[in-house]
Amino acid sequence: MHSVKKLDKWIYWSLCGYALTFSVSVGAANVFLYLSILIGIVRAVKERPSFIVPIHYSRAIIVFLGTLLCLTISSPDFIVAIKRVWEFAGRIIPFFLVVACVTEKQQIIRVLVLMFISIAITDVSAIWQGLHGNFRAGGVGGHIIDFAGSLVQLIPILVIAIMDKTFKEKRKYLFVVLAISSIALLFNGTRIVWLALAVVVPMSVIMYCGNITKKLPYFFVIAIIIGITFQTVPALNARMASIPDPANVYNRERVLIWNSAWKMFKDYPITGVGLNQYTRRYQTEYISPAARERTIAHAHNNFLQMLAENGIIGFLSFCFMFGSFLFYSLKDWFKYHHTSTLMFFSITCGILLQGLTDFNFGLTKTMQLYFCLMALYLQYRYSDMSMK
């Protein structure tokens, strides 16, 4: 028993290492994550881990992965298909590690604080890049979309935490991280994340406060500051103006990619072209003659990617999983008004909105963070309850 508790501690501290490095170094984060997995295997051999995940969430994950596993049978290359399922399953591993070994509230808060420190370091480096003329800053890690995927999840958490009395003593530190994250977000330049947070943050504030009459002046001040910023920085202004512009090359390319993905789905409506077959089929058969970017490897949209690669069966399982996350977290929020529930609901909305123009479900770093945050939410939410 003593050795098992020791292993649990090692897993916990390895996850702390992952939290501190996830935004700074993919290599270091993977080392900590793989270390926690190896220790977890040893721990499972010694004693079967006992943890309970609320059925609504575990069922959604099992249905999605089980559906993909069944679809490997219809895939033209079974080995490649299995590897694809393993890729998706691997992004969910942090979820099970957290629910098994991060059980105390102080542990949960410590992991989250380390994540804030990690993103703050990347924020500072992204701001430095932006001040030197890089308006597609990726920070220390260098991956623009992954960085955006981290911000779309952590900024709503910061906003909600600042409003909540539980974190009153840490509010000034949260404000600092939120401020530099907001500036870094501008220099990152990912338009869909700008739009996603423009929806998610006000929504979160309205849901948390209920009556927002007293908060309206703050909204007006923030809107004015944002407006002035975009008007006075030509690069930001041009980036924002490109969003509704149908002549913009990137917008045009996305429409062509979406049309190709839709054609792929229409040709293979039930099971799609096969797991991990999208890239090959798109580049060799379905790419538009008008497309300038000839090496695109995904559909730039989570839902279209699922339709094209996995057909209506895979698409429905994907919708069932995220639909369950949204429905049950929203139901829990209206019933109990638990702050962590609103946080999880908000980051799920952010991830799905970002996924309208990016295949962020295919980004390992982004989805590992999402499922890690999901597990932290469940542990924090049910830490005071005897029944999960």
- Provide the pLDDT for residue 1: 54
Which has the closest alpha carbon to 362: 87, 2, 173?
A: 87
Q: 377, 345 in Cβ contact below 8 A? A: no
- Candidates 139, 102, 99; CA nearest to 123 is 139
**Count of domains forming the chain:** 1
Residue 282 lies in a domain: no
Chunked into runs of 10 residues, the chain (388 residues) has average pLDDT values of 82 96 94 93 82 88 96 94 94 90 91 96 96 93 92 97 89 95 96 96 91 73 85 90 91 96 97 96 94 92 98 98 97 94 98 97 96 95 59
Q: Give CA 164 to chain center in angstroms.
A: 23
Q: Rounded to whole angstroms, how far apart are CA atoms 36 and 10? A: 7
Does residue 278 form part of some domain? Answer: no
Q: Give the residue from 113, 104, 118 showing the smallest Cα distance to 9.
A: 104
Q: Is residue 71 a part of any domain in this protein?
A: yes
CA-CA distances (angstroms) from residue 115 to 94, 111, 247?
14, 6, 39
Query: Three-state DSSP class for 128?
Result: helix
Q: Evaluate whether residue 263 is within a structural domain.
A: no
- In 159-173, which positions are buried (b, 16+ CB within 10 angstroms) versus exposed (e)? bbbbbbeebeeeeee
Using the CB atoms, write b or e for 14-32: b if 16+ within 10 Å.
bbbbbbbbbbbbbeebbeb
Q: d(Cα 298, Cα 276) in Å, to the nearest integer?
A: 10
Q: Residues near 265 by Cβ (< 8 Å), separated by ≥ 6?
A: 272, 304, 307, 308, 311
- The answer to whether position 335 is within a domain reads yes
Torsion angle of alpha carbons 292, 297, 299, 305, nearest 10°?
160
Residue 50 backbone class (left: φ over 0; alpha: ψ -120 to 50; beta: rest):
beta
Q: For the range 343-346, what are the long-range contacts, defined as Cβ-Cβ under 8 Å and sequence gap of 24 or more?
A: 343/156, 343/157, 343/160, 343/161, 343/373, 343/377, 344/373, 344/374, 344/377, 346/156, 346/157, 346/160, 346/200, 346/203, 346/204
Alpha-carbon gap, residue 273 to 277, rounded angstroms: 6
Name residues whose C-beta falls within 8 Å of residue 291's C-beta, 6 or more positions apart in sequence.
Answer: 253, 256, 257, 260
Task: Name every residue whose Cβ is closer than 8 Å to that of residue 156 and which is 6 or more positions away in sequence.
Answer: 197, 200, 201, 204, 343, 346, 347, 350
Structural domain contains residue 261: no
Q: Helix 339-354 and helix 191-209: axis angle, to 10°?
A: 160
> Is position 89 within any domain?
yes
Compute CA distances 264 → 260, 274, 348, 385, whole Å: 6, 11, 27, 47
Nearest Cα to Cα of residue 64 among 317, 366, 327 = 317
| Assigned domain for 277 exists | no
d(CA 348, CA 332): 14
Show the domain range for 47. Answer: 2-247+293-381
Alpha-carbon Rg for the chain in angstroms: 21
- Indicate the DSSP class of residue 189: -
Cα end-to-end distance, the chain, whole Å: 24
